Amino acid sequence: MAPAIVVPAMSEQERRPETDGRDFADAAWSVPSYLLSGILVWGGLGWLLSWWTGVHAFIPIGVILGVGLAAYLVYLKYGR
Amino acid sequence: MTLPLMLVAEDFTAPGPSIFDFPPLWDGAPSWLTKPVLMAIFGAIVVCALAWSAFANPKLVPRGMQNIGEMGYQFVRDQVARPFLGKDAERWMPLLLSLFFLILLWNLFGVVPLIQIPVASHIAFPAVLAALIYIIKIYLGIKHQGFVGYFKNMMFPAGLPKPIYVLLAPIEFLSNLIIAPFTHAVRLFANMFAGHLILAFFSAVGFWFLFEKLTPLGSGLGVLGVIMTIAMTGFEMFIEFLQAFLFTMLAAMYIGGSLHPDH
């Protein structure tokens, strides 16, 4: 009896090679844009608050919050 | 010992942003008709001519120009279009192929003797191209996902508690609609601008210290300038190719993202 020829099932990656690089490149090119946006939105808000209240500490708080939120957003979209 | 060198060095002025300013082509020409504009048009004509000679009369067994054209087509299709557009890649190839070759040619003009100006070092050119891609991106997004759907998919990634959206939606909005098209254009512009400035600087050093003010001490610096000019020209050619590739890749990425919101 001849041995059966075993054809291995295609892995998910082999089946759709054309979308392989997409997520990685998406993430790689979106990260700087998200970080910059986070700093601008929340740092900008902090700047407004410091302008209104006179408490300068709001600027660094806003910038750090923005970076943190942007990093969290990248994790949500590409890291999960 | 360093005194003669210092004296010479004081006379040397490094080329600045003024090397990007060109007068109108001839006296009485409209003020916008400058060398970069002429080269932009020339580049577009060359791309049309190359595409015509390669694809107008295709043979089953490609020869000559068709061979080169098909190599370029395959490169853009396999490296740029398919990873981001999947089965829609072929439909977008005319845009992506012309975009890639136009930008590549515009960039390579930076190291072609006598031309020696990368067209994209004037921000208007990459800005128009990026604006074109931006309009296509938003049009496709609204067409394929609906007006509300497009902005909802963009700004509100699914499955998060509502208060989080207040924190994240402004970042998504700014990133996708303002920062992304801006960096798309600026990345190409800044690379070409800086690269051209570096080449101009090193060739000016070589020219100054070897021809204008040849001194025993300065000649070493002049030789270094010439060597660096040659090395940086090679490096520039690599950057010019890379930036044409990246600009087209990001265009494909934005178009793909509008067609299939899968995040």
Q: How far apart are CA B123 and CA B156, in angstroms?
A: 33
Does an H or E element contain B231, and which?
helix B216-259
pLDDT-derived band at B262, boundaries 50, 70, 90: low
Q: What is the pLDDT of residues B64-114, one digit of tens each?
A: 889 999 999 999 999 999 988 988 999 999 999 999 999 999 999 999 999
CB B100 within 8 A of CB B246: no
CA atoms in the 13 A half-sphere facing the CB of B47: 23
Report the pLDDT value the prediction gives residue A6, as an integer from 0 to 100.
Answer: 54
pLDDT-derived band at B146, boundaries 50, 70, 90: very high
- Closest approach of chain A CAs to the CA of B96, in angstroms? 16
Q: Where are the beta strands (DSSP E) in B18-123?
A: none
**Does residue B170 sit at the A interface (CB-CB below 8 Å)?**
yes
Q: Which residues of A touch B179 (CB under 8 A)?
A: 33, 36-37, 40
Range B170-183 average pLDDT: 92
CB B254 within 8 A of CB B133: yes
ipTM: 0.70
**Does residue B172 sit at the A interface (CB-CB below 8 Å)?**
yes
DSSP structural state of residue A80:
-
Asked whether the predicted pLDDT for residue B119 surpasses 60, the reply is yes
CB atoms < 10 A from the CB of A14, how many?
A: 10
Cross-chain CB nearest to B183 (options A19, A21, A33): A33
Q: What is the pLDDT of residues A27-66, one digit of tens each?
A: 778 888 899 999 999 999 999 999 999 999 999 999 999 9
Q: How far apart are CA B244 and CA B47, in angstroms?
A: 14
Report the pLDDT value the prediction gives residue A36, as an integer from 0 to 100.
Answer: 92
DSSP structural state of residue B181:
H
Report the pLDDT value the prediction gives residue B81, as an integer from 0 to 100.
Answer: 93
Report the pLDDT value the prediction gives residue B61, as an integer from 0 to 100.
Answer: 85
Smallest CA–CA distance from B88 into chain A, residue: A18
Q: How far apart are CA B167 and CA B20, in angstroms?
A: 43
Q: How far apart are CA B21 and CA B122, in angstroms?
A: 9
pLDDT-derived band at A21, boundaries 50, 70, 90: low
B83 and A18 within 8 Å at the Cβ level: the answer is yes
The letter for the amino acid at A26 is: D
Of B41-55, B81-95, B107-121, B150-164, the range with the lowest mean pLDDT is B150-164
What proportion of chain B, given as a percentage, has pLDDT over 90?
68
Asked whether the predicted pLDDT for residue A9 surpasses 60, the reply is no
Q: Which residues of A touch B171 (CB under 8 A)?
A: 34, 37-38, 41-42, 66, 69-70, 73
Which comes out higher in pLDDT, residue A27 or B201? B201
Q: What is the pLDDT of residues B204-239, one digit of tens each?
A: 999 998 988 888 888 899 999 999 999 999 999 999
Q: How far apart are CA B188 and CA B123, in angstroms?
A: 9
Burial class (CB in 10 A: 0-12, 13-18, 19+), A2: exposed
What are B212's two structure tokens? Answer: 């204008």
Asked whether the predicted pLDDT for residue B7 surpasses 90, the reply is no
Range B135-157 average pLDDT: 92
pLDDT-derived band at A15, boundaries 50, 70, 90: very low
What is chain B's mean pLDDT, rounded?
90
Report the pLDDT value the prediction gives residue A8, as an integer from 0 to 100.
Answer: 52
**Does residue B180 sit at the A interface (CB-CB below 8 Å)?**
yes
